[in-house]
Amino acid sequence: MKMLLSLLFLISFLQLNAQDLISTNNGEVRITPVLHGSLILSYNDLTIFVDPYGGAEKFKDFPPADLILITDIHGDHLHKATLKELDITHTTFIVPKAVAEQMDEFQLGKMIVLNNDESTLYQSIEISALPMYNLPESEDSRHTKGRGNGYVLTIGGKKIYISGDTEDIPEMRNLKNIDVAFICMNLPYTMSVEQAADAVLAFNPSIVYPYHFRGKDGLADVEAFKNIVNKNNSSIDIRLRNWYPEN
């Protein structure tokens, strides 16, 4: 029994800390959770950081980023302390206008400003900016429409959606043919577990990573999210990973 429990613990540990490989039409995308809303995508010879956060030490095992995507102005997305520690002299940044306006202190390789519903091409990767915002819309909400970006990256024919800080907005619910989705769920800043599950069931991605799930009252119940989604659609692969290694 003790050996069985140890084996189950090991399997669970490896699953939580896995670097997942996603097959594409041209190689594999390696997904590495970092912290909260921060992740790394490695594709062939390219390294992509999303919302680098938590200090450069967390990125030490990776080459300097070729591309950095930033979703919003808040400190857990535009984390200036981490950016100042990273080698970004040859990095291309893709950011919303509100972020670009706060980047003057950095010596950047290149910056591309994308507004909601705009797209750009970085080498072979298409990057589209989507709205991310709170409902109901209001000028004093934590995340106003048009300020930040969610992103859809098309890599080797696979579509990867990064929600950023958002509620279950129509633009998310109406997505089509998403292969991998990173979905936030932290109250009171974004959406509840139930909202996130309902949105995922609406746009039906193949693989979902709950991320950005630390809220005001601790960590959201991602197991409950998985159960709600799979009770209604068992074909969606919900992958629970360790986004908060210090907890």
**Dihedral sign from CA coordinates of 190, 192, 193, 197:** negative
What pLDDT score does 18 carry?
57
Tell me if 7 is assigned to some domain.
no
Tell me if 44 is assigned to some domain.
yes
Q: What is the rounded distance in angstroms from the CA atom of residue 119 to the CA atom of residue 66?
A: 18
What pLDDT score does 8 carry?
37
Tell me if 137 is assigned to some domain.
yes
What pLDDT score does 10 carry?
35
CA dihedral 241, 242, 244, 247 (to 10 degrees): 130
pTM for this predicted structure: 0.91
Tell me if 6 is assigned to some domain.
no
Tell me if 244 is assigned to some domain.
no
Q: How confident is the model at residue 140 (pLDDT cuts 50, 70, 90)?
A: low
Q: Could you tell me which residues are beta bridge partners of residue 158?
A: 155
CATH number at residue 192: 3.60.15.10
Tell me if 2 is assigned to some domain.
no
Tell me if 180 is assigned to some domain.
yes
Tell me if 8 is assigned to some domain.
no
Mean pLDDT for 208-231 is 96
Mean pLDDT for 196-216 is 97
Cβ–Cβ < 8 Å for 238, 208: yes
Q: How confident is the model at residue 247 (pLDDT cuts 50, 70, 90)?
A: low
Q: Tens digits of per-residue pLDDT, 86-115?
A: 999 999 999 999 999 999 888 787 999 999
Residue 31 structural domain: 18-238
The tally of domains found in the chain comes to 1
Q: How many helices (H) and strands (E) does the chain have?
A: 6, 16
State yes or no: pLDDT of 222 exceeds 80. yes
